[in-house]
Structure 1
Amino acid sequence: MTSFTWADFQAAEPAFAESVQQRFQQYKHHVLATLRKDGSPRLTGLEVDFRFGEMWLGMMPNSRKAQDLQRDPRFAIHTNPGSGDSMDGGDVRIGGRAVEVTDPEVIRRFVAEAKPPEPFHLFRVELGEVVRTYVDGEELVVRTWRPGAAVRTQRRR
């Protein structure tokens, strides 16, 4: 299976990638879905970071979400909806695989720039799907990107 990074997404669909990243950067905390050992879903809060052409997920040492991803790297993350009814920028959902980074040089570089609380687990996102949903006038717009395919846009009234 080919790995698709944030930089790959940016190269394939620059405007879409920018709108997705801006939506994540509106708020600090988002919702991560992982799979528990028994296969049931777990939802937890999480911060997302974009650096070096990658999307990163950092977690406290031995947290349940980190243990879930170490066992099964599949995940989905949903942007914070914000307060009120506005949903400024719509909402974004990303699914894929979170691969734990153990290379000391990559971790050192990340720490030097991001300055996260240490110790921590660091995961690099491999994109499987990016979906942005928003309202445009009277229509609900759903834009979907998958690696190797063009963006698909659906409009509903």
Structure 2
Amino acid sequence: MNWADFSAAEPDLARTVEERFGAFTHHVLATLRQDGSPRTSGLEVRFLNGELWLGMMPGSLKALDLRRDPRFALQANPGEGTGMGGGDVRISGRAIEVDDPATKGAYVKEVEPPQPFHLFRTELTEVVRTYVEDDTYLVVEVWQPGEPVRALKRT
């Protein structure tokens, strides 16, 4: 399921997630190294034309990780201090490298990334938002394909 599908199914959560990612330029991407251990890297993301795009420098370790094993986790930059307006948001899924010249060309027109670059579109497997409600409850909203958002509250 791509970003457009998720946005159609859960527009409120999708809007909140986009706002959190839009608040800062750099976020944290987790990939899997060849030995299976995690690797975290800084990354810029783009929501364009119904897709969540991950662009990377050529030959970067995170790009090589995703070519080998497409599973990823992406966390929005929490910002400075303790106030996380909109909550903490994370996206998990699979990253599929795009080599199609027309698709990459359209991306270049919108984003103007340094050349050359790796471009990955994403297939979502989970979106999570965690926030504090009324200074009392920790709320965790979890979405997975084919299911409505589940909200868990803890005191």
Q: 2:91 corresponds to which residue?
A: 94
Tell me what 1:81 maps to: 78
CA drift at 1:103: 0.6
Offset at 1:79?
A: 0.8
Q: Provide the residue aligned with 1:27 in structure 2.
A: 24
**2:133 aligned residue:** 136
Q: Which runs of 5+ in 2 are unaligned?
A: none
1:151 to 125, 149, 152: 149
- Misfit runs of 4+, over 6 Å: none
Distance 2:96 2:80 in 1: 31
Q: Distance in 1 between matches of 2:14 and 2:82?
A: 24
- Where does 1:46-57 land on structure 2 (aligned, <5 Å)? 46-57=43-54
Alpha-carbon distance between aligned partners in 1 of 2:19 and 2:85, rounded to the nearest angstrom:
11
**Distance in 1 (alpha carbons) for counterparts of 2:4 and 2:144:** 14
Aligned to 1:66: 63
- Secondary structure in 2 matching 1:39: coil
Alpha-carbon RMSD:
0.6
Letter of the 1:125 counterpart: T
Identity of aligned residues (%): 62
TM-score (norm 1): 0.97
Q: Distance in 1 between matches of 2:9 and 2:87?
A: 21
Q: Tell me how far apart the structure 2 counterparts of residues 149 and 89 of structure 1 sit (CA, whole Å).
A: 22
In structure 2, distance between residues paired with 1:144 and 1:91 = 12
Runs of 5+ unmatched residues, structure 1: none
1:102-123, Cα deviation, whole Å (9 max, x unpaired) = 1110000100111111110000
In the TM superposition, residue 89 of structure 1 has moved relative to its aligned partner by: 1.4
